[in-house]
Structure 1
Amino acid sequence: MENTPFGVLLWDANMKLIYCSKEAAAKFACTPDDLLYKPINLLQFVHEEDAPAVAALITEIASGRKNHNESLNRNLTKEGAVIYCQWYNSALRDDQGKVVNILSLFQDVTAQVDTQLALKKSQQRLSLAFNSAIDPMWLIRVEGPNAFRFETINHAFTKVTGWTPEQVEGQPIEKIMPESSHELVRRKYNEALTTGKIIDYVEEAQHPSGIKYGEIRVIPIRGESGEPMRILGIANDITEKVHLQKKLDAEHEIRSRQITSAAIKGQESERSKVSRELHDNVNQVLTTVKLYVELCIDQKIDADAILPKCAAYLDNTINEIRHLSKQLSAPSLGSMNFRETLTELIDSLRASTQIDVALEFTKLHFSEMEGELHLTIYRVAQEQITNIIKYAKADRVHISLKENSSLLYFTITDDGIGFDLSQKRQGIGITNMQSRVEILNGHFQIITSPGNGTRLEVEIPVIIEGDVCYAEQTVLNMPSA
């Protein structure tokens, strides 16, 4: 019995140890003489938590109720160290069937138990991390070509999709994922298995909780010792982000249509204005001149008196047409910069009205302005000056253009009669000004009230490169070189 790897103990009917192999004594860090023929205190060699169960097993064998039993319990060495032992106990009987001896074979399995406990703890930690993750996670067992089955899911998976573990675990993916996703999911899973790499993709899927959008990551896990391969799936739920983006896209589309509509209305308004001017002024004058010329030809009136009047009428008509042309044409950066165009606009206001106008340029770190930005400032100024002449009854107007912290500030302030912004319907002119500013990602505001004048404020993000000021939005939209 000394050649066996087991420790061997032989007890008499009174549970006194009458044989102890060297292997058995060594496992308890003592010699056989330390144990033989001496009273044994169970708590001396058995962990106190396991002692009641061990005592019951001893009684079971010693009483003859069982011939064999076995147990795994914690034992104590002579120094008090804890070891795990697997015990196999057998009753030895005489010819009358009476138990005369008990044979115990045991093996130190501490290393195996420690490994199992470490593995169990590791699995518990993994399970805790798996189920504590805020992102949905799932484990897929690979059962063959295009054969994938859910092995487990975490709590977040249930929370996001509405699927419970009872519904999902053990099911093939086709029973859980919508049919529209089958081909995509199989292709991505096979790509991960074939390449051994992490694969990312975006998926839209219908679940019990509704349509969900997810950024999916699948990680191949190679099996060991003949175990099948597995795939770990992780999803970042981007449903809210997708819905928000769709909402923003829809709002952008609506805004684009509004801007287009405003631009078309503005064009129609300008055409109507030109039509009225041509009909009411130019056409009437030309008709009068034509009538005078015909009368002169027929010698029905004094040509010397009438022809100078016709020339004067024609001069006025030429000036009227020139004025209409200037209103319709955009300023040319090739010939005039923003200072010149605004100054010319102010000069025309001073020449045609009694309004006191002040134009101020403050802290401008540039001398030229990019075309679209220049045109926006010019058109806003042109429209607001027209509004002031028509409606404001103002005595003084202050126009300011300044730049600070990558923002261009443009204001037009008058001391006129003002108006109730909540009561007055916003006309096409104001809509056009606002649309032009917002196209450049700017902010447009009118501040007014009855009797307190009107202040127009424009803020546009800008970028200054060299000596030229660009609208930031224009630079961002420029194609890459």
Structure 2
Amino acid sequence: MELRILMLEDDATDAELVQRSLHGHDLNPVFMVVSSAIEYTRALQEFKPAVILADNSLPQFDAKEALRYLQEKKIHIPFIMVTGTMSEEFAVHIIKKGADDYILKNSLVRLPSAIQAALRHHETEREKENAISQLVVSERNYRVLVERITDAFIALDNEWRYTYINPQAATLIHKTPEEVMGKSVWEIFPEAVGSSTYQAMMRAFQEQCYQTNEDYFAPLNLWQENHIYPSPDGISMFIRDISERKRLQLELMEQKRREQQRLTATALAAQERERNAIAVELHDNVNQILVGTNLLLTIMRDNPEKGKELLHSCMDSIREAISENRKIAHELVTPDLETEGLLEQLNKLVGNMLAPAGIQVKIEQEGFQENGLTADQKLALYRIFQEQCANIIKYAGATEVLFRFRRMEEKYIILIADNGKGAEPADLHKGIGLHNISARINVLDGRSAIHTAPGQGFRLEINLPIQ
């Protein structure tokens, strides 16, 4: 598509230089050069330019007059000064009067980008004007539309005075239209000055661009969502009451906070139980073995002749204490799940916990790949296996345990099932170990299900999303 450029220039050489500077920039320019007011006005009607480039040094018709004529006729096209010399004061003056830009003839390299920027700016302004004209085709239709909308709506002039307020807005601010019409919004609501809404309204009007924001206005106990549409005469503003939505959001945040507190409390309680368990193990096993060994050593001290007889018993006791200590350490230490995979660690775990209890273990897998699990998920699963193995040893009376790993679509399904005596479903909430398992799964955004009944074994199914 060609770009019609009207040049107001009386120097043919300068005109040719300007034209050359615009070739090869995806503009596809077509030029018309005029040098008088008559030619200029005729070209506007017949040539219908998309851009005007005006020199300011013409003797009888300068750029200021050309720009003023455009504005009088309400012709909205880019107007750029292209001149040999220009003072900074004059440049500021002509821009304030409405020119889009100015280019010195010794800096024509900037002209293509200046034209493109001016075209974009005018296109944006044209779209805004079209949108506004479509919204307010007539005052009557406009008011009917506003009366029917469900959101609150107000219109303010350029002095921030109410020119319109619909019934919904009047209800929202607890005022009648008569109380606010013609008055400044900042006079009625001085507490709003400086607020987020105040800044959004100022920015919309000063920059003549749409703004939206959310804000809380304490005097009305109101959370509001604002949509602000500016015009040269003021602003139109749609206000939506989002107090209920915010209340629900705050409730949800509070629920999450309480859930996090519950999980933290569960974790702390688990730590305390773990510490108590360690203390019991140390007291009932290691400490008793060492007390017995100390007693034997005391006898040996007081009766040296019995030393040879008791020495082997002391050594056996010390070896037993070392074994118990290693057992406790193995249960506490974080497994190295990077060097050895989760299934390898599970094999070690059941070998250390279930096998000594005479329980047969079977591990099955179907499409299971550990690389779909994060490090946190692997560690959580290991602790769950550890907890459930302890539950099976303590409560199940089982002889067989099955671990099954499957992948189904975008999740992993892990089953731990035993053939033990099962439990009453109503009693499951009493189990601290099961609470720990559930908390670990919830933290990882997973789900769990338990299937059990007296005499029918125990099945724990875990679903974890693939990361």
1:353 CA displacement: 1.4
Per the TM alignment, residue 273 of structure 1 is displaced from its structure 2 partner at its CA by: 0.6
Matched, 1:411 2:423: no
Matched to 2:231, the amino acid is: I
Deviations 1:108-136 (A, max 9, x none): xxxxxxxxxxx998323222222222332
What corresponds to 1:214 in structure 2? 224
1:176 and 1:414 mapped to 2: Cα distance?
Answer: 73
TM-score (normalised: structure 2)? 0.66
1:469-480 matches, within 5 Å, as none
Q: What is the one-letter code of the residue matched to 1:337? A: G
Q: Is the 8 A contact 2:372 2:466 kept in 1?
A: no
Distance 2:431 2:370 in 1: 34
User: Of the candidates 394, 397, 404, which is equivalent to residue 400 of structure 1?
Assistant: 404
**Which SS does the other structure have where 2:381 is aligned?**
helix
2:217 is matched with: 205
Q: Percent identity?
A: 27
Query: Retained in 1: the 8 A contact 2:354–2:393?
Result: no
Give me the whole-angstrom Cα distance separating, in 1, the residues matched to 2:225 and 2:381. Answer: 44
Residues 164-205 of structure 1: CA deviation (Å, up to 9, x unaligned): 43444344324654x432332444333222222222222212
> Which of 347, 370, 383 is equivalent to 1:343?
347
Q: CA deviation at 1:299?
A: 2.6
Structure 1 pair 120/413, CA: closer, same or farther in 2 (3 Å)? Answer: closer
1:111 corresponds in structure 2 to none
Question: Equivalent residue for 1:286?
Answer: 290
The alpha-carbon deviation at position 375 of structure 1 amounts to: 0.6
User: Mapping of 1:332-481 within 5 angstroms?
Assistant: 332-366=336-370, 369-463=373-467
Larger helix fraction of residues = 2
Match of 2:151 in 1: 135
- Return closer, same or farther for 1:301/1:403 CA change in 2, 3 Å cut-off: farther
Gaps of 5+ in 1: 1-118, 223-228, 464-481
**Aligned partner of 2:154: which letter?**
W
TM-score (norm 1): 0.64
CA 1:367–1:232 in structure 2 vs 1: closer, same or farther (change >3 Å)? closer
**C-alpha spacing 1:217/1:353, structure 2 compared with 1 (3 Å):** same
The change in CA–CA distance for 1:240 and 1:356 in structure 2 (over 3 A counts) is same
Query: Aligned pair 1:196/2:205, yes or no?
Result: no
- 2:194 paired with 1:183: yes
Give the Cα separation in 1 of the matches to 2:198 and 2:372. 59
Aligned residue in 1 for 2:165: 153
Matched, 1:315 2:331: no
CA–CA distance in 1 between the matches of 2:456 and 2:170? Answer: 62
Contact 1:150/1:172 (CA < 8 Å) preserved in 2?
yes
Q: Distance in 1 between matches of 2:325 and 2:459?
A: 31
Alpha-carbon distance between aligned partners in 2 of 1:138 and 1:418, rounded to the nearest angstrom: 68
Closer/same/farther in 2, CA of residues 267 and 120 from structure 1, 3 Å limit: closer
Provide the secondary structure at the position in 1 that maps to 2:426. Answer: coil
Letter in 2 for 1:341: Q
User: Mean Cα displacement is larger for which, 154-163 or 402-411?
Assistant: 154-163
Letter in 2 for 1:157: A
Contact 2:286-2:321 within 8 A present in 1 as well:
yes
Q: Distance in 2 between matches of 1:249 and 1:372?
A: 24
Change (3 A) 1:328 1:301: farther
Q: Which residue of 2 aligns with 1:265?
A: 269
Q: Which of structures 1 and 2 has the bigger CA Rg? A: 1
- Separation of aligned partners in 2, 1:131 and 1:411: 61
Question: Which AA in structure 2 matches 1:127?
Answer: R
> Aligned-pair RMSD on alpha carbons?
2.6
SS in 2 for 1:302: helix
Structure 1 residue 250: Cα displacement: 0.6
User: Aligned partners of 2:372, 2:157: CA distance in 1, in Å?
Assistant: 67
Partner AA of 1:204 in structure 2: Y
Q: Deviations over 1:358-379 (max 9, x none)?
A: 2112211445743211110000
* Residues 421-466 of structure 1: CA deviation (Å, up to 9, x unaligned): 3245433322221111111111133332333322212111122xxx
Q: C-alpha displacement at 1:280, in angstroms? A: 0.8
Aligned mates of 1:313, 1:387 — CA distance in 2: 29
Pairwise CA distance, 1:256: 1.0
Give the letter aligned to residue 132 of structure 1. Answer: R
Q: Give the structure with the higher percent strand.
A: 1
Q: Note the alpha carbon deviations across 1:283-330, whole angstroms, 9 max, x for none.
A: 111111122122223335622332112222211111111110011111
Amino acid at match of 1:214: Q
Q: Measured at CA, do residues 161 and 390 of structure 1 come closer, stay the same or move farther in structure 2, by a change above 3 Å?
A: farther
Shift of 1:232: 0.4
Distance 1:121 1:368 in 2: 59
Q: Distance in 2 between matches of 1:447 and 1:140?
A: 66
* Distance in 1 (alpha carbons) for counterparts of 2:406 and 2:390: 22
Residue aligning to 1:96: none
Determine if contact 1:198/1:218 at 8 Å carries over to the other structure: yes
Separation in 2 of the partners of 1:458 and 1:150? 61
The answer to whether the 8 A contact 1:214-1:237 is kept is: yes
One-letter amino acid of the counterpart of residue 411, structure 1: L
Report if aligned partners of 1:262, 1:428 keep a CA contact under 8 Å in 2.
no
Q: Secondary structure at 2:340's aligned position in 1?
A: coil
Structure 2 stretches of 5 or more lacking a match?
Answer: 1-134
CA distance in 2, matches of 1:269, 1:186: 56
Q: Secondary structure at the match of 1:137?
A: strand
Cα deviation 1:186-229 (Å, max 9, x = unaligned): 4433322222222222221257xx6321221222221xxxxxx2
Provide closer, same or farther for how the CA distance between residues 350 and 301 of structure 1 changes in structure 2, counting only shifts above 3 A. farther
Deviations 1:364-422 (A, max 9, x none): 14457432111100000110110111011123221112222221222211222222232
- Bigger mean CA offset, 303-312 vs 153-162: 153-162
Find the aligned partners of 2:158 and 2:446 in 1 and give their Cα distance: 56
CA distance in 2, matches of 1:316, 1:412: 32
With over 3 angstroms needed to count, the CA separation of the structure-2 counterparts of 1:330 and 1:183, relative to structure 1, is same
